[in-house]
Amino acid sequence: MPTYVYEVVENGQPTGERFEVVQAMSDESLTKHPESGKPVRRVILPPHIGGKYSDGAMNRSMANDGKLDKLGFTKYVKSGDGTYEKAFGSGPKNIQK
């Protein structure tokens, strides 16, 4: 069963309070908060799809020095105030301000 997100509305405007409810797709949408009785509406959110271009995958790829080196990137690591030393790749050994 899917999880639906609802938000509380007052005078037709969302208040910022959201909650999740697990419901069957055939169930009617809620119209009132199950605890407070305030009016609510269902929120349509974009699906979260992973893959090789998702944020998590990109962060893992950028943290893999071996992969970056194999792809031809150069990485510099900060070694002091305004000084960077080359970790791998082509280019100068040091970069300074």
CA separation for the pair 61, 39 (Å, rounded): 45
- Annotate the chain with three-state secondary structure: CCEEEEEEEECCEEEEEEEEEECCCCCCCCCECCCCCCEEEEECCCCCCCCCCCHHHHHHHHHCHHHHHHCCCCEEEEEECCEEEEEECCCCCEEEC
- How many domains does the chain divide into? 2
Q: Are residues 8 and 39 in the same domain?
A: yes
Q: Are residues 67 and 39 in the same domain?
A: no
> Facing residues of 41 across strands?
7
In a domain, 9, yes or no: yes
In a domain, 52, yes or no: no
Domain limits for position 83? 63-96
> Facing residues of 32 across strands?
39
Q: Are residues 37 and 8 in the same domain?
A: yes
**pLDDT score for 4:** 94
Give pLDDT < 50 ranges for the chain. none
